[in-house]
Amino acid sequence: MHVFANPARFLSIARPLTPWLLWGGLLLLLIGVTAGLSYTPADYLQGESVRIMYIHVPAAWLGMGGWTGLAIASLMQIVWRHPLAGVAARAIAVPGALFTALCLVTGSIWGRPTWGTWWEWDGRMTSMLVLLFLYLGYIALANASSGEGPGGRGSVSRVTAIFGLVGAINIPIINRSVVWWNSLHQGPSITMRGSTIDSSILWPLGFTVLGFSLLFGAIVLMRMRAILAQNKLEARLQRLARG
């Protein structure tokens, strides 16, 4: 991983990769959403509301996956002092928070006709709400500590990195919450042993999950590039100020 510690080397890969992720993600997302809205049948129990799945599931996946990536970057900052680790974690935090919020909103909309309520304080929904608060807390700490990490300006402090690592405890809680506690939320629908969702409804989900994942990656790379560009500009201005 230290091969990519050099910002110039990282940018040489990130610049051409970003548009591929962006346009590839948009294309897959367009295919998945169009198929999910037009070419799949309504669920025999949930009716048309099941189509929210094509947005809700990828949002939940990326909310959890985002914090997992943030925690890995935090670990790399703490243990190996990777210069770009803090920048990467900071870049992940905002899109991770947005997808977590989207998961909660779409889940609430889905729950109203399915469960008869907008919100229920069950294990899965509550732990996802905690994840959103963790993201907001991380963003606040990152903004307050910008420039204190090993990556310099745009990175985050060691305390912020520790917060990112400790917050990962919530990820397995979210994942196993529907197994550990009785709740309105359905149990695991897709596991290593297969899926309980009919294939006629399931297949567009792969397109939207992959599409949103590529978009997430593009957003993170764009944010990292923006942070590094801002660092370069600030360093240049400081050199000019010193004469």
Residue 117 located in a structural domain: yes
Question: pLDDT: is 128 or 48 the higher one?
Answer: 128
- Say if residues 164 and 89 touch (Cβ distance below 8 Å): yes
**pTM metric for this prediction:** 0.90
Residue 199 located in a structural domain: no
Instruction: With H, G, I as helix, E, B as strand and everything else as coil, classify residue 194.
Output: strand
- Of 59, 57, 58, 96, nearest to 74 by C-alpha is 96
Task: Measure the CA–CA gap between 184 and 10, rounded to whole angstroms.
Answer: 45
Task: Kindly tell me if the per-residue pLDDT of 149 is higher than 80.
Answer: no
- pLDDT value at residue 235: 63
DSSP, res 151: T
Task: Kindly tell me if the per-residue pLDDT of 177 is higher than 70.
Answer: yes
Residue 220 located in a structural domain: yes
Instruction: Indicate the average pLDDT of the chain.
Output: 87
Task: Kindly tell me if the per-residue pLDDT of 57 is higher than 60.
Answer: yes
The predicted-structure confidence for 6-18, as pLDDT tens digits, reads as follows 788 889 999 999 9
Q: What range does the domain containing 111 cover? A: 50-180+204-232
Query: Residue range 146-150: average pLDDT?
Result: 59
Residue 26 located in a structural domain: no
- Say if residues 111 and 117 touch (Cβ distance below 8 Å): yes
- Say if residues 205 and 36 touch (Cβ distance below 8 Å): yes
Q: How confident is the model at residue 80 (pLDDT cuts 50, 70, 90)?
A: confident
- Of 141, 162, 143, nearest to 78 by C-alpha is 162
Record the tokens describing residue 68, joined without a space. 């997992």
- pLDDT value at residue 129: 97
Record the tokens describing residue 222, joined without a space. 């764009």
Residue 97 located in a structural domain: yes
Task: Measure the CA–CA gap between 15 and 25, rounded to whole angstroms.
Answer: 16
End-to-end CA distance of the chain: 37
Q: What amino acid occupies position 72? A: I
Residue 138 located in a structural domain: yes
Give the HSE-up count for residue 197: Cα atoms under 13 Å, Cβ half-sphere.
24
- pLDDT value at residue 139: 96
116-120, 147-151, 221-225 — which is least confidently predicted?
A: 147-151
- pLDDT value at residue 210: 97
The predicted-structure confidence for 200-216, as pLDDT tens digits, reads as follows 888 999 999 999 999 99
Give the HSE-up count for residue 151: Cα atoms under 13 Å, Cβ half-sphere.
35
- Of 168, 169, 176, nearest to 123 by C-alpha is 176
In total, how many domains does the chain have?
A: 1
